[in-house]
Amino acid sequence: MKSITKKLGPDIIGEIEARGINPGTVLSQIEMFERGLSPSDLVKPCKPGDGIVSIGDEAESLARRFESESAGRRVVKFVPASGAASRMFRDLRSAAQGGSLERGRLERVAREGDGGSEAALRFISELGRFAFHDDLEAALEKNGYRMRELLAAGEYGEIVSHTLGPRGLNYQNLPKGMIKFHKYPAHDRTAFEEHLAEALCYAKDASGRARVHFTLSPEHAEIVDGYLDSVRGIYERERESLEIGYSVQKPSTDTIAVDMENRPFIGDDGKPVFRPAGHGALIENLNELGCDIAFIKNIDNVVPDRLKEETYLWKKALGGYLLGLEGLVSGALIKLEGGGGYKDVARELGELERMGLEIEAPRGAQTASREAESACLVSALRRPIRVCGVVRNSGEPGGGPFWVRGRDGRLSKQIVESAQVDMSAPGQKAVWESSTHFNPVDIVCWLRDHRGNPYDLHGFIDRESGFISVKSKDGRDLKALELPGLWNGAMAFWNTVFVEVPLMTFNPVKTVFDLLKPEHQPKL
């Protein structure tokens, strides 16, 4: 501790401890800044037959398996939902900040190539197609405005202001989950509500209780809790109930910022600056769920009821595939603990490989002692399991499945983001661009060992797979450290299988205009 205090200083140590962070952790972070982080070494993209499994013919039978075997398991639907909706309305906010929102001016500026003005005009022209239209009209009327009159006069300022600001819907300040996504005859639904409806269809236990857990920003926790409490009764039935949990990204997972000389960055207030460490910090939240199976899905990837049947089929199919893998892994581990060696579990290992989970035989297995051979196999098998749905890449930004060479020289399957790749390194850009599939964050996880004990997920993180970026604060540059992503480095040492799923199961809403896509609109 004395050496840490000497390097950081007592004032910084005090601030670190007040945040609940171990000073040694901060020192390790500074060392990462000093030496830099190694990029992922891409060998080749995963493709069907080479890292990606196709289960189209088995989907229905796998779904039935999940339905029959999961009732006795504790299943949780885990939804990272901490993102604010501000990015959905970025172009609209840009138009509002750029001057008058009078139709003539917007049309003139749009012709000159202003993207914000183009977005504002499109938003107004499509206004009636958004599920929040009626709420917006009511908010305007409450404040003495009539939407029809504003539209006829070409005066759009109050319409945009009431969409974004606190006098109206306040959408730029709410979590994305509270934006109304879909129209229904009786009750239009937010993204949060669509996840509640989903949970009741594939995350129920034998008593009909569905568990769903949302991760939230601290500033949104109270409003979300009250909101979901007010709508949950719409979805619960006599024999179906919802158990809704919440957690926030812990301040203790924040990482220290440094200046360009890798010294702790001290803000104008005289205190060291810490920054949220990215969604990889949510491995802490996942670790505390206390469940057997967790379905992970982003807050904005939902569809209306008319498209849910096929979505549910594939969710359950991934769950059934996971149960098959878990059964083989548990069977092999029990044999190995009973004194067996490689030959005794060869059938299980062969079946796992057929299912896309390659467990390498220990190096030197032919000459190793039975005990050493067994210990190596136990180490390879006794890990959390994840089955990741992947879709054909249709141009969406984000990570994908790759074969990656680790620092020990071994190949493993990983979800890799572009920020993890050195595109200037020989061949790496070509490998990245040859990828055919995308990770839609459609993951089913097994979180207990063969004895029913929960895994400590901290033990399976590749802590060198985060990345460093340059930001600014108080008019000065700083370097920020983002922890390994939740489905990237935070799960790097899990046992992983990629399964191809239909593109229709991936329907993200990144901008408000994505809500105008056919899959988010009522059927004509």
- According to the model, what pLDDT value does residue 367 have? 54
Query: How confident is the model over 423-432, as pLDDT tens digits?
Result: 999 999 999 9
pLDDT at 5 over 60: no
pLDDT at 180 over 80: yes
- According to the model, what pLDDT value does residue 198 have? 95
Are the CB atoms for 509 and 299 separated by under 8 Å? no
Structural Rg of the chain based on CA atoms: 25
Q: What are the start-end ranges of the E strands in 234-291? A: 241-248, 255-256, 274-275
452-459 mean pLDDT: 96
**Residue 157 domain flag:** yes
Pair 325, 406 in one domain: yes
Pair 288, 359 in one domain: yes
Q: Are strands 47-48 and 51-53 parallel, antiparallel or unpaired?
A: parallel
**Residue 471 domain flag:** no
- According to the model, what pLDDT value does residue 9 have? 76
pLDDT at 473 over 60: yes
pLDDT band for position 333 (cuts 50, 70, 90): very high
* Alpha-carbon dihedral sign for residues 382, 384, 389, 392: negative
What Cα–Cα distance (Å) separates residue 61 from each residue in 68, 205, 373, 390?
11, 20, 36, 20
Pair 423, 351 in one domain: yes
**Residue 294 domain flag:** yes
- According to the model, what pLDDT value does residue 131 have? 98
Pair 90, 72 in one domain: no
84-88 mean pLDDT: 85
**What is the percent of the chain where pLDDT is above 90?**
70
**Residue 290 domain flag:** yes
- According to the model, what pLDDT value does residue 25 have? 87
Look over the chain and give the mean of its residue pLDDT values, rounded to a whole number: 91
Pair 295, 158 in one domain: no
pLDDT at 376 over 70: yes
Q: Which residue segment(s) compose the domain that 149 sits in?
A: 86-173
pLDDT at 184 over 90: yes
Pair 344, 414 in one domain: yes
Are the CB atoms for 283 and 492 separated by under 8 Å? no
- According to the model, what pLDDT value does residue 149 have? 97
pTM: 0.91
pLDDT at 487 over 70: yes
Instruction: Give the residue, 488 or 54, on which the prediction is more confident.
Output: 54
- According to the model, what pLDDT value does residue 147 have? 97
pLDDT at 2 over 70: no
Pair 499, 350 in one domain: yes
211-233 mean pLDDT: 93
pLDDT band for position 7 (cuts 50, 70, 90): low
Query: How confident is the model over 300-320, as pLDDT tens digits?
Result: 999 999 999 999 999 999 999
CB-facing half-sphere around the CA of 251: CA atoms within 13 A: 10
216-241 mean pLDDT: 92
Nearest to 495 by CA among 391, 377, 390, 407: 377
- According to the model, what pLDDT value does residue 432 have? 94
Pair 379, 422 in one domain: yes
Instruction: Give the residue, 63 or 369, on which the prediction is more confident.
Output: 63
Q: Is 293 helix (H, G, I), strand (E, B) or coil?
A: strand
- According to the model, what pLDDT value does residue 22 have? 85
* Domain termination residue (choose one: 158, 173, 188): 173
pLDDT-wise least confident of 1-10, 158-167, 232-241: 1-10
Nearest to 80 by CA among 238, 260, 216: 216
Beta strands across the sheet bearing 75-80: 47-48, 51-53, 495-500, 385-392, 437-446, 293-297, 75-80, 209-216, 241-248
- The count of structural domains within the chain is 2
**Residue 518 domain flag:** no
Count of CB atoms situated within 10 Å of the CB of 18: 10
**Residue 70 domain flag:** yes
pLDDT at 8 over 80: no
Q: Is 497 helix (H, G, I), strand (E, B) or coil?
A: strand
**Residue 255 domain flag:** no
Pair 43, 90 in one domain: no
Pair 326, 445 in one domain: yes
* Domain termination residue (choose one: 143, 173, 203): 173
* Domain termination residue (choose one: 173, 198, 229): 173
pLDDT at 365 over 60: no
- According to the model, what pLDDT value does residue 71 have? 84
**Residue 5 domain flag:** no
- According to the model, what pLDDT value does residue 85 have? 84
386-407 mean pLDDT: 89
- According to the model, what pLDDT value does residue 179 have? 97
Pair 283, 409 in one domain: yes
Pair 158, 134 in one domain: yes
374-403 mean pLDDT: 90
Query: How confident is the model over 19-49, as pLDDT tens digits?
Result: 888 888 888 899 899 888 889 999 999 999 9
